[in-house]
Amino acid sequence: YFSMIDFFVLSAAGGFAMYWFFFRNKKQDQPTFKKLTVTPVVERGSSSGFINKMKNTNRNVVVFYGSQTGTAEEFATRLAKDATRYGMKGMVADPEECDMEDLSQLTEIENSLVIFCLATYGEGDPTDNAQEFYDYLQGGGTDLDGIKYAVFALGNKTYEHFNAMGKYVDSRLEELGATRLIEVGLGDDDSNIEEDFVSWREKFWPIVCEHFGVQATGDDSSIRQYSLQVNEDLPKEKIYHGEISRLGSFNVQKPPYDAKNPFLAPIIANRELHKGGDRSCMHIELDITGSKIRYESGDHVAVYPMNDPDIVERIGKRLETDLDTVITLTNVDEEASKKHPFPNPTSYRTALTHYLDIQSPPRTHILRELAEYAEDPKEKEFLMSMTSSDGKDKYNDWIVKDHRNILAILDDLKSLKPPMDHICEMLPRLQARYYSISSSPKIHPTSIHITAVLISYTTRTGRSVKGVATKWLADKPVTDGKTYTVPIFVRKSQFRLPFKPSTPVIMIGPGTGLAPFRGFLQERDYLKKEGKPVGETILYFGCRYKAQDFIYEEEINQYLKNGSLTKLHIAFSRDQKEKVYVQHLLNKNKEEIWRLLENGGHIYVCGDARNMAREVHDMLERSVIEQGNLDATKAAEYIKKLQSKGRYSCDVW
């Protein structure tokens, strides 16, 4: 995707940044600055929304987030907390809930600053909650003269439009007259986004100090955001049991269903697709009868999983906490828009099972807070050493590469005794998992199919790890007389069959990348049987061994036989000495690809974003160069045009 993070320009403030960086932990060496005086309360009601709130609560820093999986929101929260360490006062805000036109009024607040933590989603798109803000900026925006801002972008280099959203906002704000305090931070989730964030932030705050003439308060101690209340004797119906938003929504289900109100879909099929080998791929059917949920081929279904009860139990034991204690965690900042870290009141067990991500390796701010609870000074120092950018190699090695989750850390550092409520406050929210729907509503209007590989691996420390969602789904057979349900919602995608069925299509989907194409094939087959003129339908599929992981083999062969699938190009990577992948097959079929493109054909790619999608892109470009007699620049333009016209789409993860 894009360029490297070493983008940062060490500007005039750079020297100072280095100074601060090396000496910030030594109190006596801290630079002295004038203390910031926060504007006193300005007349209430003079402006609406977030500006008003900032004025009324003496805040001068607002951190907006565009978040799809929670990371941008988490970074925003950390930056808002940071502000207090510099005598400033920050708040986190969701652009979806704010009138972003008010941004220009930030100048009414003395020494004010706006920070954006913005993730890029899909093909260079904003996240759902930042879409309106994006449209607003694209549609013109407003004069932002006098506004000070900073952007930290979150993205993934394996995707073509690396950090497109963050970069766009960063340059658009400048165009509108705002003053950038620091070069946009480019977080790369493919490498180590935590490290990128920590490095950016270590450069950012010294610049803020210099710009506003504020200084670090020197109080680096942990800041608790939530206060704990233990609720005894609460009736069951007053306690959350995993609902995402509305209490009781899992007992009395009401449409419409969305991310905040998922539908509990019964699993009506769950079978193994692999015929051998030690890996597993599941075909799951979810019943949506009566839910009023509609979907189209190419859409995604989101699943809210539950954590492994065994891990939950072990965390409870290790921290000597009764997991059935019912608690409420309330934000000590009464003005904060987020009152609780997750739905409250609930039990520790429910929080660890439904709401918290207990299986990902924790980020450095968690290690920092954990360090406070290490009784052994060596363990404390060890944890602290991983939290600055000096310690990034150690963090990478011990946490990331070893895949140490919170339980593994607690098990390996015996003197750590954090209280359970602080653990619950620190850990990020457990996120829904997305799956490319592998059915067509034309054939299956009342069910949604998923094709998912069970994640299973052993870490370097010998711990066996299973994917949260895929293990949870794997443990839900339909044979044992019990009906399991899964909280789901559908997310619309741009991955669509051509409007006219007569348009030819090329589908490239190795492994589980086949998922949406199973839906596409069902749809084209249905239309053909209805007597519609259906264009050429070509599928590229790849797997390791024909005898083991050729998923949906019978169905595909049936479509080949009846002509709904015109051609199947298949690569079994390990059935011969030389590894063969779909990319290689594309290379052999450049003529066919060019012919279909020139006939108005559409190309679809689904599956692995890291290698496959990129190599397929290169192959396509090569086809266009060789067959279309275009030079590299013209070929790239040709491909760009295909993308913008919706004739070349990727659904990769």
How many DSSP H helices and E strands does the chain contain? 21, 23
Candidates 98, 281, 543, 606; catalytic one = 606
**Is 125 a residue of the active site?**
no
Q: Which stretch binds ligand FAD (CB under 6 A): 32-40, 336-344, 345-353, 466-474?
A: 466-474
Residues near 14 by beta carbon (within 8 Å), at least 6 away in sequence: 203
Q: Is 19 in the site for ligand FAD (CB under 6 A)?
A: no
Q: Is 518 in the site for ligand FAD (CB under 6 A)?
A: no
Rg (the chain; Cα; Å) = 26
The 3-state DSSP class for residue 571 equals strand
Contact pick of 104, 112, 199, 359 for ligand FAD (by CB under 6 A): 359
**CA 96 to chain CA centroid, nearest Å:** 17
Between 182 and 301, name the residue whose CB sits nearer to ligand FAD. Answer: 301
Number of Cβ within a 10 Å radius of residue 236: 7
Q: Report how far residue 341's alpha carbon sits from residue 118's, in angstroms, rounded to the nearest whole number.
A: 20
Q: Is 469 in the site for ligand FAD (CB under 6 A)?
A: yes
Q: Which stretch binds ligand FAD (CB under 6 A): 155-163, 388-396, 451-459, 496-504?
A: 451-459
How many angstroms separate the Cα of 165 from the Cα of each of 147, 332, 586?
20, 33, 31
Least CB distance to ligand FAD at residue 511 (A): 8
Q: Report how far residue 95's alpha carbon sits from residue 82's, in angstroms, rounded to the nearest whole number.
A: 20
Q: Identity (one letter) of the amino acid at 19?
A: Y
Least CB distance to ligand FAD at residue 153 (A): 18
The 3-state DSSP class for residue 4 equals coil
Q: Is 455 in the site for ligand FAD (CB under 6 A)?
A: yes
**Is 543 a residue of the active site?**
no
**Is 436 a residue of the active site?**
yes
**Phi, psi of 395, rounded to the nearest 5 degrees:** -60, -45
Contact pick of 433, 518, 602, 614 for ligand FAD (by CB under 6 A): 433
Q: Is 443 in the site for ligand FAD (CB under 6 A)?
A: no
CB 280 within 8 A of CB 474: yes
Least CB distance to ligand FAD at residue 366 (A): 17
Site string for ligand FAD, 287-326 (x = CB under 6 A): -------------x----x---------------------
Q: Is 434 in the site for ligand FAD (CB under 6 A)?
A: yes
**Is 128 a residue of the active site?**
no
Between 249 and 359, name the residue whose CB sits nearer to ligand FAD. Answer: 359
Site string for ligand FAD, 209-238 (x = CB under 6 A): ------------------------------
Q: Is 71 in the site for ligand FAD (CB under 6 A)?
A: no
Q: Which stretch binds ligand FAD (CB under 6 A): 159-167, 188-196, 246-254, 462-470?
A: 462-470
Q: Over 392-430, what HEC string results?
A: HHHHHHHHHHCCCCHHHHHHHCCCECCCHHHHHHHCCEC
Instruction: State both tokens at 174.
Output: 């400048």
Candidates 436, 439, 623, 649; catalytic one = 436
Q: Extract the runs of DSSP E, i.e. beta strands, from 472-536.
A: 485-491, 505-508
Q: Which stretch binds ligand FAD (CB under 6 A): 145-153, 262-270, 445-453, 612-620?
A: 445-453
Instruction: State both tokens at 192.
Output: 């180590």
Contact pick of 512, 537, 564, 649 for ligand FAD (by CB under 6 A): 512
Q: Report how far residue 99's alpha carbon sits from residue 107's, in angstroms, rounded to the nearest whole number.
A: 16
- Closest Cα to residue 364, out of 338, 388, 333? 388
Least CB distance to ligand FAD at residue 104 (A): 36
Residues near 251 by beta carbon (within 8 Å), at least 6 away in sequence: none
Q: Report how far residue 625's alpha carbon sits from residue 644's, in angstroms, rounded to the nearest whole number.
A: 19
Q: Report how far residue 167's alpha carbon sits from residue 185's, in angstroms, rounded to the nearest whole number.
A: 9
Closest residue to ligand FAD: CB criterion = 467
Number of Cβ within a 10 Å radius of residue 592: 18
Number of residues that bind ligand FAD (CB under 6 A): 20
* Residues labelled as active-site residues: 436, 606, 651, 653
List residues binding ligand FAD (CB under 6 A).
Answer: 300, 305, 359, 403, 433-436, 451-453, 455, 457, 467-470, 512, 515, 653
